[in-house]
Amino acid sequence: KCVLCSDENPEGTPDPTCAKACPVRALEFGPIASLREAHPEGAAAIGELTDETGPAVVFALHRDADKGGTLRNPQEVGHEA
């Protein structure tokens, strides 16, 4: 669970532990405008979140993911909660 930590790097900018520790660099942290500029395919991959909640996140599908319009983990199909 994210506790919104914002450890700072030597330059004084936020550098959360989760982003630093991710071995495949799947997490990035920074101003949302910068992230959207760096990853224009991200938000478009599954659609924009509405601004009503003030989202500050960009999602991108894995390059090999099914582009059929749904997000699904094949290992969870048929899993009973």
Helices (H) and strands (E) in the chain, counts: 3, 0
Q: Kindly state the tokens that stand for 30.
A: 């920074």
Q: For residue 21, is it within any domain?
A: yes
Number of domains in the chain: 2
State the Cα torsion 48-51-53-54 to the nearest 10°. Answer: 100
pLDDT truncated to tens, each residue of the chain (81 aa)? Answer: 677 676 666 777 777 888 788 887 777 777 777 877 887 776 555 455 566 666 666 666 666 766 665 656 666 555 554
Range of the domain at 14: 1-29
Cβ atoms of 2 and 18 closer than 8 Å = yes
Are residues 41 and 19 both part of a single domain?
no
